[in-house]
Amino acid sequence: MTATEKNLLLDRLSVCYNRTNYLKIVCEENKALDEAAQFDRRKARLRIEIDGLLRDLYHNWIGDAQTLKGKLDDSNRALDKCISNIEADIKTAENIVKAIGYVDNIIKVAVDLVA
């Protein structure tokens, strides 16, 4: 995997991190404190993985960059849809659960990169 590909993956992970932070804030504003705490824990976990990737940027990563980029893009698109539905107050609880699942998927990709 080239350095450019690694940087693109880090960019996508950073997008997810920012979206996770936004979802945490939305939950706090809506007094959904348990859900906010779940997003906060996942945000912390994702930060650990991103930091690990940054440390390993110039080491040999395993995996297919195109596949990983696709997985991250798919999860980020799904997160965007959840955010839109939460903002529109459409099945908010269901979308929060979905969003947590998408963040978990992104964390798994990040963990696999470091493995």
Structural domain spans, the chain = 3-114
pLDDT, position 59: 55
Residue with tokens 């996770």: 20
Amino acid present at 34: D
Give the integer Cα–Cα distance in Å for 5 and 19.
21
Give the integer Cα–Cα distance in Å for 50 and 11.
10
DSSP 3-state assignment of 115?
Answer: coil
Q: How confident is the model at residue 6 (pLDDT cuts 50, 70, 90)?
A: confident
Q: pLDDT digits over 24-64, tens only?
A: 999 999 999 999 999 999 999 999 988 887 777 645 555 56
pLDDT, position 37: 96
Closest CA to 30 of 102, 83, 105: 83
**What separation, in Å, do the N-terminal and C-terminal C-alpha atoms of the chain show?**
15
